[in-house]
Amino acid sequence: MIEHWRMVVKRLLDVFLATLTLLVLLPVFAVIAVLVKLSSKGPVIYRQERVGLNGKPFILLKFRTMVVDAEEVTGPVMSPADDKRVTPVGRVLRRCRLDELPQLGDS
């Protein structure tokens, strides 16, 4: 019985903290989204299927930091430090790791 209540309290705390974090980060998300949209054509969010634990596929979500269709010719490859496909806003987002923020909502 006590274990059940611990799980309930933990779940409530998780939901509360996730909601609070989302509310705090919402203005940051909005500013980044506007900057990405103004800096280049295309969607704000980049989606890519990846393979995770035990070979289970999942969809990765990030703010787009490269020009649209950057991997059309090469496919997914590691981006060198001086990659010309990265937008100026994307370079800053990558340096600060802000392009990774959309993954928080998908964990």
Beta pairing, strands 57-63 & 45-51: antiparallel
The DSSP element (H or E) to which 48 belongs, if any, is strand 45-51
The DSSP element (H or E) to which 32 belongs, if any, is helix 2-39
The alpha carbon dihedral of 97, 100, 104, 107 has a sign of: negative
Average pLDDT, the chain: 89
pTM of the entire structure? 0.75
pLDDT tens per residue, range 9-39: 999 999 999 899 889 999 999 999 999 999 9
In the chain, domain spans: 28-106
Q: What's the distance, CA 5 to chain centroid?
A: 33
CB 45 within 8 A of CB 64: yes
